[in-house]
Amino acid sequence: MLEEAGFDWLVFDTEHAPLTQQSVSSMIQAVDETRVCPVVRVGAVDMYFAKSYLDMGAHGILFPLVNKPAEARNAVSYCKYPPVGIRGVAPRKASSYGKRLSDYIRNANRSTVVAVQIETKEALDNLESIASVKGVDILFVGPTDLTMSLGLFEDRNNPKVIESMKKVVRACEKEGKVAGTLALDENEARLDLRLGFKFLGLSSDFRFLLKGASSILEKVKKL
């Protein structure tokens, strides 16, 4: 349904959502990759999960809580075949179940997206060195966790948060990376675009469902 809505990419979240490898595999199989790009957020900077989801057909991996350049380098290494990285060779859906294995292996390093989340004060302190890691494509701000890490609880619009997000955009511009973040609604999206973010996650499936259901229910109750 979300593919039909016209999104450019969908993220399958295994960090906070109750998704198993089997459920992610089934959902990626349902995606028409010519219309929407499947991305998986893993639960940690982990080699096993990164290569598993790429083999399932994910076009990119989003790594949470990347706080140090060494962790960013590991993220790249886990997503890339030798000699760039250490990803093992056993792609399933990614290679059309072996029908285009050679073509996939030759092009995977170039086409696989590596995104790292900047969502703590420690990550901000190491921002320049993280942004300079070769092979990282996207620096993705986790605004809620960043707000919490800065000691501001849920004040996502605090000037300190906004300035930190600007800092990430500037680092991306300097290093030729793409700045990404999550917008919960159109107002946040408007601000994020104005700040210079190019890769936007928009809300979530359960928020879409709740907002739509609440809207029509509220209207019907007024009849």
Active-site residue, from 16, 35, 160, 211: 16
Whether 59 is catalytic is no
Lay out the sheet containing 138-141: strands in order across.
9-13, 37-41, 60-63, 113-118, 138-141, 178-183, 199-202
- Is the bond into 83 cis (omega within 30 degrees of 0)? yes
Decide: 84 and 109 in contact? Cβ < 8 Å: yes
Residues belonging to the active site: 16
